[in-house]
Amino acid sequence: MNVMQKMIDFFLRPYTRRRAQGMTIEQVIADLEATRDEIMPRIDRAQDSDANREAINHFIGIERWAANRIRVAMGQAEFELDSNRRYRLPDAAPLAELQSAFRTAREETLELAREVQRSGMDTSAKVEHNDLGPLTVIEWFVYIRDHSAREIVRVREKQVQGWRRTSSACQCRQRLCQEHSLQVWDHVARVLKKLNSGELARSARSFTRSSESTQAAGLPRAAQAGTA
């Protein structure tokens, strides 16, 4: 794990907790549906490239792995300190299979959330995340929601005639990804300031300003770094 990844992981748990604070399972379901509708068109239009296949397979692994941790909280699975790679498709999986698998994984996550809703279980129950520490059921769902929404910028779409004429809907999705990435780094800068870590705080603020300067290009650097 590189230094940037460690830095992101260090601040991602308080950020995830803040995002999940006060959320109900009904709101979680609505958000999972909304992010599905935002990112699936881009996944469906993905170029058939090694980078895109790797990105989508990563999304699948995280989605399935995190859902399994929620099943642990529900008493449906035994806890194992495994990694998301166990839940990915084979590296040679074709693009069409990966696209279908991510769609299925999100539908399974939604059904899991609805099952939690129907059961009336205590959503404050916690299960360990390998890097972020113990997360509640709601925080796990927020982690799932935010991961693919944050990293969808890794997926490059097919270049077709008129592709530069980005639709308003695509611009909206791009803006959401940018805003989410900038929120993460704004949170990092604020926490570092509170810790009075001058050098790191200046670095984080510099990174945030650098990310903001790239919004017009639609390529937030924070999102490029990726998260677990």
Question: pLDDT (tens digit, 9 = 90+) per residue, 126-162?
Answer: 999 999 999 999 999 999 999 999 999 999 998 765 5
Query: What confidence score (pLDDT) does residue 11 get?
Result: 79
CA distances from 28 to 4, 41, 107, 187, 189 (A): 29, 21, 13, 21, 27
| Backbone angles phi and psi of 150, in degrees to 5 | -75, -40
| Total-model pTM | 0.72
**pLDDT tens digits, residue range 151-199?**
999 999 987 655 444 444 455 455 555 555 555 545 545 555 555 555 5
Flag whether pLDDT at 97 surpasses 80.
Answer: yes
pLDDT digits (tens, 9 = 90+) for 115-126: 999 999 999 999
